[in-house]
Homo-oligomer: A and B are copies of this chain.
Amino acid sequence: MAKTGQLHLIPVGLSDADPAGWLPPLVRQTAARLTTYIAENAKTARAFLKQIGTDHAIQDITIHTLGRRTSTTEIRQWLQPLKVGEHIGLVSEAGCPAVADPGAVVVGLAHQLGYQVVPHVGPSSILMGLMASGLNGQQFVFHGYAPVEPQARAQQLKSWETQSRKLNQTQILIETPYRNEAMFRTLTGSLHGHTRLCVARAVTGQDEWIMTQSVQAWQSGRPPKLARIPTLFLYLAD
């Protein structure tokens, strides 16, 4: 029986920082060698491959674009080469594939078809934000996005705060970058004064800025500049 290929989960950068700061050499080597990729966005995937330097000319590397409408039939076809021992890479737009992005469906299919999945080390704003927050890293939850409608949003944030208090659990969420400052106002306006709130902006980037303090302290200071800069919000109730 021929040896089957592996689905390699390759992290990409969160910023335009030098890959030497966020990509281990052997991961870089693995990524450089692959000739087939499944990507959330072909353009950013190509930029990543250019950035790390590939063993093959970039135009010779096949990149399948994974969209919301991609059918599982199509993904199964993309995974076919694994059967004959070829390896395939999966990349996200930023950070680790299959975390806070739609890549999990590809990984799920690979398991279903009996292929080996290999995760690689790289940057994740969720994990790095959590590490740097000083909030509880022994119990935490990542919610993705909060509701957009103002009243529902404030209510949801408060309900997560209740859960945080009950379970001593750090609550983690993201927001569409252009709404970050509004999210900051809602957080500081609806959470309890003693709740500790961490704002982790531009993790690994030039504008990286990570600060944790009580909601009370945030209220009495100047609000941080967050508009259009990727930001993670984390909080832990007292």
**Chain A residues at the B interface, C-beta cutoff of 8 Å:** 9, 18-27, 96-112, 116-124, 126-144, 169, 196, 198, 203-204, 208, 210-213
Contact, CB under 8 Å: A111 / B142? no
Please, which residues of chain B bring their CB within 8 A of the CB of A107?
131-134
Question: Which residue of chain B has the shortest Cβ distance to A139 in the bound complex?
Answer: B144
Given A25-B25, A213-B111, answer yes or no on A104-B142 (Cβ-Cβ < 8 Å).
Answer: no
29 example contacts (A-B, Cβ-Cβ < 8 A) are as follows: A9-B131, A19-B24, A20-B24, A21-B24, A21-B121, A22-B24, A22-B121, A24-B25, A98-B133, A98-B137, A100-B138, A103-B137, A104-B135, A104-B137, A105-B134, A106-B134, A107-B132, A107-B133, A111-B211, A111-B212, A112-B213, A116-B210, A118-B208, A119-B131, A119-B203, A121-B123, A124-B127, A126-B127, A141-B142
Given A24-B20, A25-B25, A128-B119, answer yes or no on A100-B137 (Cβ-Cβ < 8 Å).
Answer: yes
Contact, CB under 8 Å: A111 / B134? yes
Task: Report the minimum CB–CB distance from A92 to chain B (whole Å).
Answer: 10
CA distance A106 to B105 in the complex (A): 38
Question: Which residue of chain B has the shortest Cβ distance to A132 in the bound complex?
Answer: B119
Contact, CB under 8 Å: B129 / A119? yes
Please, which residues of chain B bring their CB within 8 A of the CB of A121?
21-23, 121-123, 128, 204
Given A25-B25, A144-B138, answer yes or no on A9-B99 (Cβ-Cβ < 8 Å).
Answer: no
Please, which residues of chain B bring their CB within 8 A of the CB of A112?
213
9 more CB-based (< 8 A) A-B contacts, given A100-B137, A139-B143, A141-B142: A18-B26, A23-B24, A23-B121, A98-B134, A104-B136, A107-B131, A108-B212, A111-B213, A121-B122
Please, which residues of chain B bring their CB within 8 A of the CB of A136?
104
CA distance A204 to B9 in the complex (A): 13
CA distance A198 to B108 in the complex (A): 10
Question: Which residue of chain B has the shortest Cβ distance to A213 in the bound complex?
Answer: B111
Contact, CB under 8 Å: A20 / B25? yes
Contact, CB under 8 Å: A132 / B24? no
Please, which residues of chain B bring their CB within 8 A of the CB of A130?
98-99
Question: Which residue of chain B has the shortest Cβ distance to A9 in the bound complex?
Answer: B131
